[in-house]
Amino acid sequence: MKIKVLGCAGSESPGRKSPAFLVDDVLLLDAGIVGAVLAQSAQEKITAVLLSHAHHDHVRGLPSFADNLVVSGKKEPVAVIGSAATLEAVHTHIFNGVIWPDFSRLPTPAAPILHWQPLAPLLDLPVREYLVSAFPVNHSVPSLAYRVRRDNVSLVYTGDMGPTPELWSAIGTPTAMIVEVSFPNQLEELACKTGHLTAALLAKELALLPILPAQIFVSHIKPCYEKQIHREIAELGIPGLSILHDGQEILLETPG
């Protein structure tokens, strides 16, 4: 399984892009950025977008992405997968014919380029050759973590989340995880109030896993606290824990 980090920042700033992770060129985990970093031909390969939640920085690339696909003449619809609450929010507040055209009815209602596909938590959904599972996590709006499996390789992507103890007993033993750390330890109260993690909170969460994945990647760092959070993550001394950067490519291979 190949993962390309299109963006992984906790807020936008020069050189720091909003969250989006491309799996094997065909699945997109969140859509914080798409068209600004992917060529038209690469955008046309994407067949499904998994939205963790409806916050702007995780969906902001979706409108231009849909527009690009319609203009290119792509016929195969793209499945936009998420909780019913997330899809309703994105449809109502973005693709509403006012803020942006409703691409779930364009270019024609019979053959739209976007297909809303609700996914209930704790259910499995076959998507191409992958099996996608969703897990509710603690955030300020309804939010899902995802596990994407193909053969014996699996990736867990938490999206934005605060402490969620029940997640770790549900995900099994993934090959790798993308987790968030948004704030420095000194802002733990703010992190919990807004549904995010600090390095110290992440350590407590990971301690609930019976076996740590070989690779754990940290994303969603607030740029203004970047140096401090990098230091606090390094001080944890957790094997296999590293920090993502925009443009990074990761190859996950079958264990053993």
In angstroms, rounded to a whole number, what is the distance separating the alpha carbons of residues 31 and 34? 6
Share the mean pLDDT of the chain.
96
Residue 253 has pLDDT above 90, yes or no: no
Q: What is the pLDDT of residue 126?
A: 95
Confidence (pLDDT) at 30:
98
| Contact by Cβ (8 Å): 80, 68 | no
Radius of gyration of the CA atoms of the chain, in A: 17
Q: Which amino acid is at 165?
A: P
In angstroms, the CA 222 to CA 235 distance is 18
Burial class (CB in 10 A: 0-12, 13-18, 19+), 32: buried
List the structure tokens of 168.
């770790």
Question: Residues 34-88: pLDDT tens digits?
Answer: 999 999 999 999 999 999 999 999 999 999 999 999 999 998 999 999 999 999 9
Pairwise CA distance, residues 225 & 136, whole Å: 27
Q: What is the mean pLDDT of residues 115-141?
A: 95
Distance in angstroms (rounded) separating the CA atoms of residues 158 and 246: 17
pLDDT at 122 over 90: no
Give me the mean pLDDT over the 96-114 stretch: 97
Query: Looking at residue 250, what is its pLDDT?
Result: 96
Structure tokens at 166: 């029940």
Percentage of residues in the chain having pLDDT higher than 70: 99
Question: In this predicted structure, what is the pLDDT of residue 34?
Answer: 97
Rounded to two decimals, what is the model's pTM? 0.96
Chain centroid to CA 53: 9
pLDDT confidence bin for 164, thresholds 50/70/90? very high
Task: Give the domains, in start order, of the chain with CATH numbers.
Answer: 2-251 (3.60.15.10)
Q: Which residue from 101, 61, 216 is spatially nearest to 46, judged by alpha carbons? A: 61
pLDDT value of residue 251: 96
**Confidence at residue 254, expressed as pLDDT on a 0 to 100 scale:** 75
> pLDDT class for 256, splitting at 50, 70, 90?
low
Position 20: which residue type? A
pLDDT higher than threshold 90 for residue 12:
no
